[in-house]
Amino acid sequence: MLAMIFAWAIWKRLSYLKVPVFFATLWGSWSWMQGLHPPNAAATFTPPKNEKLLSVGFANLGITTAPSLDTQDPLATWFHLEPLDIFGVVECHPDRVNQIQSWREWHTVHAEPDARGANGIAIFSMFPIDSVQISRTPNARLDHLTAIIKGPQGTLQVEVTHPCPPIPGLLHQRKSEFDHLEKAARSAEFPVLVLGDLNETPFGTAWQELLTKSELVAAQPLSVATWPSQLKGVPIPQWLGIRIDHILVSADLGFTPVEVGPRMASDHRAIKTKIWRHAQ
């Protein structure tokens, strides 16, 4: 985007804009590269032979209802191409929760899904959920879900989260939510899987600090946008979007390349990957 503005400034002969936009373009390019190669980014895209992989995914459902039976549902189609073993969702309308529950024989936990607010949060698991804690940091507007799941490779600690966006008035709250996630990851007894709309792009200090302090690894690649897929019903080209929905794992988990889903009723796109536990 900065490069386009720089080209426009040259075309319009706006000399006063050329220098600042040029340096902003250099800074933006550097930030982009930093984001694509974050701390702890020892990606492992090739799973061990004969290893049981877990298919995991996340979606911000945008408080949308399930489409009627005679209407195409891009999320359902994408899901059924390769059903997920663990699926975390936020901003889930009760109708969507019921729909997703019908897709598989899940173990399910959800909290406060409603028809208007963004409070809904849920996890769907094909494996037993040993325990669940749903909490909020002080003054937070949305819940954070921690689930201990007993999978075929051992026990996982799964965090489903939705920190507030980085806007004035919410920065202190946002830091508290990130601190909560970092502490949960560092104190975990089991390998950690984070599924969330972090409202954070893979650039800059906040992203770097999150990965450094939590010692988590961002499942990659990070170059494909997840938001906004549409705004008030108007489709947005994916190349104009940004990546704010993420899957993070502890260093003892490997992952395949992240896949980003199609445009759906929500303004977010879903994401998924496969994970496995490294040999001890």
Kindly state the tokens that stand for 17.
Answer: 């804009």
In one-letter notation, the amino acid at residue 263 is: R
Kindly state the tokens that stand for 4.
Answer: 């386009």
Give the C-alpha separation, 140 to 162, whole Å: 10
The CB-side HSE value for 96 (13 A sphere, CA atoms) comes to: 31
Give the C-alpha separation, 95 to 66, whole Å: 6
- Mean pLDDT calculated for residue range 2-12: 48
pLDDT band at 13 (very low <50, low <70, confident <90, very high): low
CA distances to 45, 143, 271 from 197, rounded to whole Å, are: 23, 12, 10
pLDDT band at 138 (very low <50, low <70, confident <90, very high): confident
CB burial class (10 A; 0-12, 13-18, 19+) of residue 236? middle
Tell whether the model's pLDDT for residue 62 goes beyond 80: yes
pLDDT of residue 27: 45
Bond before 228 cis per omega within 30 degrees: yes
Tell whether the model's pLDDT for residue 218 goes beyond 50: yes
Q: Are 52 and 63 in contact (CB under 8 A)?
A: no
- Mean pLDDT calculated for residue range 161-176: 91
pLDDT of residue 31: 47
pLDDT of residue 153: 85
Q: How many CB atoms are located within 10 Å of the residue 110 CB?
A: 21
> Tell me: the pLDDT tens digits for 221-280?
998 999 999 988 899 999 999 999 999 999 999 999 999 999 999 999 999 999 999 876
Q: Which residues pair with 273 in a beta bridge?
A: 56
pLDDT band at 32 (very low <50, low <70, confident <90, very high): very low
CA distances to 15, 73, 231 from 70, rounded to whole Å, are: 56, 9, 24
pLDDT of residue 20: 55
pLDDT band at 38 (very low <50, low <70, confident <90, very high): low
Give the C-alpha separation, 83 to 258, whole Å: 15
> Tell me: the pLDDT tens digits for 177-203?
999 999 999 999 999 999 999 999 998
Q: Of 232, 84, 263, which is closest to residue 158 (Cα–Cα)? A: 84
Kindly state the tokens that stand for 106.
Answer: 């899940």
Angle at which helices 204-214 and 171-186 pack, to 10 degrees? 30
Give the C-alpha separation, 205 to 195, whole Å: 21
Kindly state the tokens that stand for 167.
Answer: 């806007």
pLDDT band at 2 (very low <50, low <70, confident <90, very high): very low
Q: Which domains does the chain have, with CATH numbers?
A: 1-36 (no CATH), 42-277 (3.60.10.10)
> Tell me: the pLDDT tens digits for 63-118?
999 988 888 899 999 999 999 999 999 999 999 999 999 999 999 999 888 788 88
- Mean pLDDT calculated for residue range 198-210: 90
Label the pairing between strands 86-90 and 54-60: parallel
In one-letter notation, the amino acid at residue 18 is: K
Tell whether the model's pLDDT for residue 35 goes beyond 80: no
**CA trace torsion 260, 266, 268, 270 (10° rounding):** -30
pLDDT of residue 210: 95
Please identify which residue in the block is written with the tokens 């709250």: 173
pLDDT of residue 52: 82
Give the C-alpha separation, 168 to 172, whole Å: 9
